[in-house]
Amino acid sequence: MPCDDAGTSRVTRFEVFTGAGRRRDWPPEVKASIVAESFFGQETVCSVARRHGMSPSQLFTWRRQLRKQMENQGVVVPAFVPAVVDAVSAAEPPPAIQRPKRGRRSKASAVELEIDGVAVKISRGADAGVIAAVIEALRATR
């Protein structure tokens, strides 16, 4: 619509935008709580973001900013170590993983996960954050 007839011509289209898109200013304590929940909760980052009515990309940005801030302060940020996976030829069947019998439970590990032939054992007393990070890494590779 040209400026010279603004207000004199009839409106032909009217749009209402709803939902996300509003800019909010999060208090630091709320922001820290949401970021902590995304690191140590049992949910994915996306589900935490959805529950708080925000974009997952915003929460990922906050997590990245926290990591950089911690690194700048000299705090060691846990990271994944490189994993080496040996290629198995198609003719060779994957080795069968033997599970302990019910009466002989291994006391060395508290959690054993097997996903697509990859077995992960997490020992008793492992940090909850480490366990959550391992599970998230396994989900991401599926």
User: For residue 1, what pLDDT is reported?
Assistant: 46
Q: Are strands 118-123 and 109-115 parallel, antiparallel or unpaired?
A: antiparallel
The domain segmentation of the chain, as residue ranges, is: 18-77, 96-142
In CATH, the number for domain 18-77 is: 1.10.10
Joined tokens for residue 110:
């508290």
Specify the length of the chain in residues: 142
pLDDT band at 97 (very low <50, low <70, confident <90, very high): confident
Q: What is the pLDDT of residues 121-130, one digit of tens each?
A: 777 777 778 7
Predicted pLDDT at 96: 72
pLDDT 10s digits, 44-82 = 899 999 888 888 999 999 999 988 998 899 887 776 656
